[in-house]
């Protein structure tokens, strides 16, 4: 899994400019997170997670970086993580009422990145279910990750079903 | 060799066992070189006791006359009479309180105190007082078998004998057919938990009060037994972290499908911890079994994952497990005598 942190101008089409080289060089995008709340000087921090097949990683990553620099996209961080450190889980309950953005931010503050998110609900204030795929750092043990998720679930009275 | 037995509790399991014993009597004598003599049958309100042996064929030709039989004694308790019987093996199949393990626990301990080998289909004594039973059996030189307590006829416990040279590092299992039926139906049809439960009750897969199953207590008890037996642990049901299945929604099951998962109610023993909870399981996993089936996956050091799968409930399934235990105990006794 490759984690890329960039800053994009808050104008239409800028996200396409970011995605195009990743896709062109064989990247499979898992998730994109816009930090609209951290916008400074009309620039928005954007996190993107994608996967490259092992044989493409070195060459493609260099090409992607070159293209982004040519497009004047500011790269803050790029890192290649372990493929094994991904976990899928489902939470059910009042997931939206209990502030899903807060849930994601709290995971993020522990370096747990939400790569993918799907939700099912009838009405926002009804019981809902959300499936998340998260990536967590190499140094973090799986039980530590589970503990972090369980802590939030317990506080928000959410039911956790994990892989 | 003649093995004298008594049966405590002649419900579905006890009756099925006796029918199987009768059916396989000649086969057992030929193959395993022993015969059985049924000395006593205890019921809640009395006992049929005949030192010369109860005629099982006659018993089933007119079973309604159990209490009119000339050897019937009313208002006697197994607990009081076990010590007076000349028997080798006590078979315990009474309906038992899941919180106290009684009356089965007292019957088992009484038999062991009297140096009588024990076979039981009752879970509660083993998930509540495993160490007490094992220690007493060891002190008195008795054998205790309880294959029917976990997954009935599926040899989830006796497989230990085939893995003596191996090491089991983890157990993952589905041990309650009711829960697996409910989740299978919710997954297949997109129906709610309450509708699937009602369907299971109508089909006789779930009890009128299904809480022991759906809240995970039944699975937890079985997990304690299977992990103590196969991993050599000394846990009780209080050591299990338990979550039931009633909070699972059709939405959650739909989401799981999106990423190639199903939701299963798993019982897991790993890293000295016991957990019963719903988990996401890959659709192509061997744990993705359907309907009321039970499955036990043993992760082993030298053979990888070993899967045992089959029907986890039913009178004949449990009866067959008891018969297996009886043959196993007798074989061990014959070997010891030969030495």
In this prediction, residue B221 carries a pLDDT of 97
Mean pLDDT for B149-158 is 92
Residue B277 backbone class (left: φ over 0; alpha: ψ -120 to 50; beta: rest):
beta
Query: Which stretch of A63-77, A146-160, B77-91, B179-193 has the lowest confidence by average pLDDT?
Result: A63-77
CB-nearest to B255 from A93, A120, A163 is A120
- Smallest CA–CA distance, residue B282 to chain A, in Å, is 8
Question: Would you state the pLDDT for residue B64?
Answer: 60
- Which pLDDT score is estimated for B339? 66
Digit-coded pLDDT (tens) for A53-99:
777 788 889 999 999 999 989 999 988 865 558 999 999 999 999 99
Percent of chain B with pLDDT over 90: 87
- Is the pLDDT at B76 greater than 90? The verdict is yes
The verdict on whether B222 is a catalytic residue reads yes
Instruction: Scan for tokens 């064929």, then name that residue.
Output: B57
Across residues B103-125, what is the average pLDDT? 97
Which of 3.40.190.10, 3.40.50.720, 2.60.40.420, 3.30.360.10 would CATH assign to domain B2-151+316-338?
Answer: 3.40.50.720
- Say what the pLDDT of residue A121 is: 86
* Domain final residue, candidates A31, A50, A80: A80
Q: Which of residues 86-145 of B touch A (CB under 8 A)?
A: none
Please state which CATH number belongs to domain B158-311.
3.30.360.10
Is B281 within 8 Å of A163 when comparing Cβ atoms?
yes
The per-residue pLDDT for range B275-299, each reduced to its tens digit, is 999 999 999 999 999 999 999 999 9
Identify the closest residue of chain B to A119 by CA–CA distance: B255
Provide the pLDDT for residue A36: 84
User: What pLDDT does A84 receive?
Assistant: 54
Task: Report the pLDDT value the prediction gives residue B266, as an integer from 0 to 100.
Answer: 98
Closest CA to B157 of B166, B168, B149: B149
- Going by C-alpha positions, the residue among A80, A65, A73 that lies closest to residue A46 is A73
pLDDT for B45: 94
Q: What CATH number does the domain containing A27 carry?
A: 3.30.70.260
Question: What is the DSSP secondary structure assignment for residue B315, as one 8-state letter?
Answer: H
Q: Is the pLDDT of residue B170 over 70?
A: yes
Closest CB from B247, B259, B279 relative to A131: B259
pLDDT the model gives residue A33: 85
Q: Which residues in chain A have their CB less than 8 angstroms from residue B265's CB?
A: none
Instruction: Tell me the residues of A at the B interface, defined by beta carbons under 8 Å apart.
Output: 88-90, 92-93, 118-121, 127-131, 133, 159, 161-163
Give the closest residue to B149 by CA, choosing from B220, B201, B53. B220
User: Hey, are the CB atoms on A161 and B254 less than 8 Å from each other?
Assistant: no
| The token pair that represents B150 in the structure block | 């976990």
Question: Is the confidence at residue B180, as pLDDT, over 80?
Answer: yes
Query: Which residue did the predictor score with more confidence, A124 or B47?
Result: B47
Q: pLDDT band at residue B213, thresholds of 50, 70 and 90?
A: very high
Q: Could you say which of B123, B145, B222, B264 is catalytic?
A: B222
Verify whether the Cβ–Cβ distance A120 to B248 is below 8 Å: no
Q: Does B197 contact A at CB distance below 8 Å?
A: no
Confidence band of B202 (pLDDT split at 50, 70, 90): very high
Inter-chain CB pairs, A–B, below 8 Å: 55
Q: Check CB contact under 8 Å for A118 and B279.
A: no
3-state secondary structure B158-223: HHHHHCCCCCEEEEEEECCHHHHHHHHHHHHHCCCHHHHHHHHHHCCCCCCCCHHHHCCHHHHHHH
Considering A80, A112, A138, which residue would you say is the last residue of a domain? A80
Complex ipTM value:
0.85
User: Which domain range does residue A111 map to?
Assistant: 86-162
Task: Give me the number of domains chain A comprises.
Answer: 2
State whether A56 and A119 are in the same domain: no
**A5-58 pLDDT per residue, tens:** 999 998 888 889 999 999 888 888 888 888 888 888 889 999 998 888 777 788
Taking contacts as CB-CB distances below 8 angstroms, the residues of chain B near A90 are: 252, 255-256, 263, 280
Q: Indicate the residue among A26, A50, A80 that finishes a domain.
A: A80
Q: Is the peptide bond before B70 cis (omega within 30 degrees of 0)?
A: no
Domain boundaries, chain B: 2-151+316-338, 158-311
Average predicted confidence (pLDDT) for chain B: 94
CB contact under 8 Å between B256 and A131, yes or no, is yes
Q: Which of A93, A131, A162 sits opposite B255 (nearest CB)?
A: A131
Q: Cα dihedral sign for A75, A79, A83, A85?
A: negative
pLDDT at B62: 59
Q: Which residues of A touch B280 (CB under 8 A)?
A: 88-90, 161-163
Of A90, A118, A119, the CB nearest to B280: A90
């Amino acid at each position: 899994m490759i984690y890329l942190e960039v800053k994009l101008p808050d104008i239409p089409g800028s996200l396409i400019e970011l995605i195009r080289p990743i896709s062109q060089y064989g990247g499979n995008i898992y998730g994109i997170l816009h930090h609209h709340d951290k916008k400074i000087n009309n620039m928005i921090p954007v996190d993107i997670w994608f996967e490259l097949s092992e044989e493409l990683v070195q060459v493609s990553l260099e090409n992607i970086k070159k293209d982004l620099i040519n497009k004047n996209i500011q790269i803050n961080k790029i890192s290649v993580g372990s493929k094994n450190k991904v976990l899928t889980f489902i939470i059910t309950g009042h997931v939206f009422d209990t502030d899903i953005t807060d849930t994601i931010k709290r995971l993020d503050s522990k370096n747990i990145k939400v790569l993918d998110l799907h939700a099912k609900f009838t009405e926002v204030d009804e019981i809902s279910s959300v499936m998340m795929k998260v990536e967590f750092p190499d140094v973090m043990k799986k039980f530590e990750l589970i503990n972090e998720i369980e802590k939030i679930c317990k506080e928000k009275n959410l039911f956790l079903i994990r892989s | 060799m003649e093995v004298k037995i008594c049966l405590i509790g002649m419900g579905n399991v006890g009756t099925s066992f006796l029918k199987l014993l009768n059916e396989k009597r000649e086969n057992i004598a030929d193959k395993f070189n022993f015969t059985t003599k049924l000395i006593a049958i205890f019921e809640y309100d009395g006992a049929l006791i005949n030192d010369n042996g109860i005629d099982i064929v006659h018993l089933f030709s007119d079973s309604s006359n159990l209490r009119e039989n000339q050897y019937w004694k009313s208002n006697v308790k197994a607990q009081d009479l076990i010590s007076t019987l000349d028997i080798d093996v006590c078979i315990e199949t009474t309906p038992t309180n899941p919180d106290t393990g009684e009356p089965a626990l007292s019957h088992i301990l009484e038999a062991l105190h009297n140096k009588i080998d024990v076979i039981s289909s009752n879970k509660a004594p083993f998930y509540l007082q495993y160490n007490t039973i094992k220690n007493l059996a060891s002190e008195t030189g008795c054998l205790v078998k309880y294959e029917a307590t976990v997954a009935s006829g599926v040899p989830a416990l006796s497989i230990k004998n085939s893995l003596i040279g191996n090491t089991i590092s983890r157990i993952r299992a589905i041990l309650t057919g009711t829960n697996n039926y409910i989740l299978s139906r919710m997954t297949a049809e997109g129906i709610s938990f309450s509708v699937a439960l009602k369907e299971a009750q109508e089909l006789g897969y779930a009890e009128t009060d299904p809480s022991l199953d759906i809240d995970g207590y039944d699975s937890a008890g079985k997990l304690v037994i299977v992990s103590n037996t196969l991993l050599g642990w000394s846990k009780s049901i209080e050591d299990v972290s338990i979550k039931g299945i009633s909070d699972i929604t059709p939405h959650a099951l739909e989401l799981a499908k999106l990423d190639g998962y199903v939701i299963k109610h798993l019982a897991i023993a790993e890293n000295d911890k016991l957990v019963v909870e719903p988990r996401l399981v890959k659709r192509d996993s061997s744990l993705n079994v359907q309907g009321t089936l039970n499955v036990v996956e043993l992760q082993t050091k030298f053979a990888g994952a070993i899967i045992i799968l089959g029907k986890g409930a039913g009178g004949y399934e449990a009866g067959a497990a008891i018969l297996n235990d009886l043959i196993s105990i007798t074989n061990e006794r014959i070997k010891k005598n030969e030495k």
